[in-house]
């Protein structure tokens, strides 16, 4: 299979990326699933301390509190891999190769530390831009190693090419209720030129 027909798809274990991979395979492309894990729910870095209730059987810390990680899936909606094994199972269902990438340190240094620094200095930033920039960077690195020309995700956005001056840009998705174009706003021209967004013209429902 030639590199031009090979695409690396970011798979999170959620339905959007699963459908994206399915659509690309249906088009006849050689699809490779890659799961980027940025947050480890068991890392104490993300834990919040709260008092233990009588009903709970979790071990108590010296302060009489327990680590509460229940907020993580909601707080890290797009960064958090809900279930790595689910993403792997989806790839197996589609009969495509699958790789997992540990990006815990990159996420902390390139996203979390930047958010903390901005909070201290009073700077207003949109952390999702940095998170999704990191996601595409890592998928691109994996694509280069696997000699795949294209990268794809389950984002609801469109890559547009202005033919007159050959400039790529990110446009809104067909579904206004789930437009994610702003999250990809920092991608450079080379990244946009090799990015496929199969869900661009679809509605999530």
Could you read off the pLDDT of 6-35 as tens digits, one per residue?
999 999 999 999 999 999 999 999 999 999
pLDDT, tens digit, for every residue of 151-199?
A: 999 999 999 998 787 899 999 998 888 899 999 999 999 999 999 999 9
The predicted pLDDT at position 189 comes to 95
Dihedral through CA 161, CA 134, CA 99, CA 73, nearest 10?
Answer: -110
pLDDT tens figures, 97-131: 999 999 988 988 888 888 888 888 888 888 888 88
Q: What is the pTM of this model?
A: 0.81
- Which string of b and e fits 175-192 if b means at least 16 CB within 10 Å? beebbbbebbeebeeebb
CATH code: domain 3-39+76-196 is 3.40.50.620
Element holding 127 (H helix, E strand): helix 127-145
Q: Break the chain into its structural domains and give their ranges.
A: 3-39+76-196, 43-73
* Look-up of token digits 């030639």: 2
Nearest to 174, CA basis, from 145, 150, 198:
198
């Amino acid at each position: 299979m030639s590199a031009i027909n090979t695409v690396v798809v970011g798979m999170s274990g959620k339905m959007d990326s699963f459908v994206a991979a399915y659509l690309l395979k249906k088009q006849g492309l050689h699809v490779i699933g890659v799961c980027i894990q940025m947050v480890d729910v068991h890392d104490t870095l993300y834990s919040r301390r709260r008092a233990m209730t009588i009903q709970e059987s979790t071990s108590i810390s010296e302060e009489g509190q327990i680590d509460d990680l229940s907020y993580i899936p909601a707080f890290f909606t797009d960064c958090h891999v809900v279930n790595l094994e689910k993403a792997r199972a989806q790839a197996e269902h589609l009969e495509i190769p699958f790789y997992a990438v540990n990006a815990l340190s990159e996420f902390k240094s390139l996203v979390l530390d930047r958010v903390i620094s901005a909070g201290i200095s009073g700077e207003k930033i949109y952390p999702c831009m940095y998170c999704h920039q990191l996601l595409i960077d890592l998928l691109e690195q994996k694509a280069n190693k696997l000699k795949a020309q294209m990268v794809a995700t389950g984002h609801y956005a469109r890559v547009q090419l202005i033919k007159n001056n050959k400039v790529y840009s990110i446009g809104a998705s067909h579904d206004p209720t789930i437009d994610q174009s702003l999250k990809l706003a920092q991608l450079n021209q080379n990244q946009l030129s090799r990015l496929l967004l199969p869900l661009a013209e679809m509605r999530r429902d």
